[in-house]
Amino acid sequence: MQTHLEENMMVKFLQKFDASPFLIKYQGNCYKVGEGEPTFTVNFKKELDIKELLKSTSLALGEAYMRRDFEIEGDLYEALDHFLCQMDKFSTDQSLLKKLLFPSHSKRTQKKEVCSHYDIGNDFYQLWLDKTMSYSCGYFKDNDNSLYQAQINKIDYILQKLYLKENMTLLDIGCGWGFLLIEAAKKYHIKGTGITLSTEQYEKCKERIIQEGLENDITIELLDYRDLKYLNKTFDRIVSVGMLEHVGREQYHHFISCVNEVLKPQGLFLLHYISAKKEYPGDAWIKKYIFPGGVIPSLREIIKECSEFNFDILDIENLRLHYHKTLLCWDKNFRAQLPVIRTMFDEEFIRMWDLYLCSCAAAFHNGVVDLLQILLTKGVNNHLPMTRWY
């Protein structure tokens, strides 16, 4: 009787996600949700705890999927696209998830959080990223661009926006595996500095710089952005791609302050980051398993902080659908490499990572999040071309 009651509660909870039709299967019972022909089936092997669903829908469903408590019969991305277009129906009890949703953003904690994701292993990332090792949104100038071409396009686009000239100094905050700095040095003959908290990225960066013969043009530091002043350098241009999401809401002011401190007057700053329409603490499953401590800023809070330091906005561009396509490319590559990945990680990790890539693609597709590029100058700069297409 109790089991039947819990099943009914679980089904009733999921029936509210009725934007498009799907089936729920459990112990021989089948329930249809929505009108029309079902496009996928959620086949439960075990019941979900209704209390956990109410505490955090994403965490309960995510962990259950990782444990194989249910399977998606059909396309995983399509199922997630269905659920994430109804994010307003998800439950999150912030009071019960306070420690997870609102962690410390001390230097020590942030380094640990960043390394937990980016130090999984360069060998792993090389399997499903393209050969540029770019782990951020590509730019598909043409629909048939390969992932590699889209990443080349993205780097070229950013460097063009930065209006680089020979012998300028460029700082990359959160430089990843270093491809942007390498391209900037090769194409524009600048002097580059990159910082990262990831030991794996740091080592790979140095290796790539040596391979390209750019040791005299690029330096890489294992450094927190809060310690930029200790470099005793100022820069003509600063870029940060996919790093702001790790800073934390209470640190945005400090982050922009640190940028301001090392950017020359009239210098350009390009900020490329995942953005949300409103301020919220983040998704519980993503924060527990993928990006500990990660927070997605809203545009308005970043603009507010930039205005405090007299940054002048030149351009804001939304590349949301480019990230949707990038993530689908990554997931396709990831699945193609499963025989190799299974020799490196267990099935729970594999299901987790597949879920991560597909759910993020669905989030961008449904406008749950955006990908913004903001171009700013430190103070007014009247010496730049008047159009974006310079």
pLDDT at residue number 247: 95
Q: Averaged over 176-198, what is the pLDDT?
A: 97
Whole-angstrom Cα distance, residue 375 to residue 270?
5
Task: Give the pLDDT confidence of 309-321 residue by residue, as tens digits.
Answer: 999 999 999 999 9
Task: Give the pLDDT confidence of 38-49 residue by residue, as tens digits.
Answer: 999 999 999 888
Is the pLDDT reported for residue 104 higher than 90?
Answer: no
360 annotated active-site = yes
pLDDT at residue number 122: 94
CA distances from 307 to 6, 67, 311, 379 (A): 52, 46, 5, 10
Burial zone of 27 (CB within 10 Å; 0-12 exposed, 13-18 middle, 19+ buried) = exposed
- Marked catalytic residue, from 137, 258, 329, 360: 360
Q: Averaged over 193-200, what is the pLDDT?
A: 96
390 vs 197: which has the higher pLDDT: 197
Q: Answer yes or no: pTM beyond 0.85.
A: yes
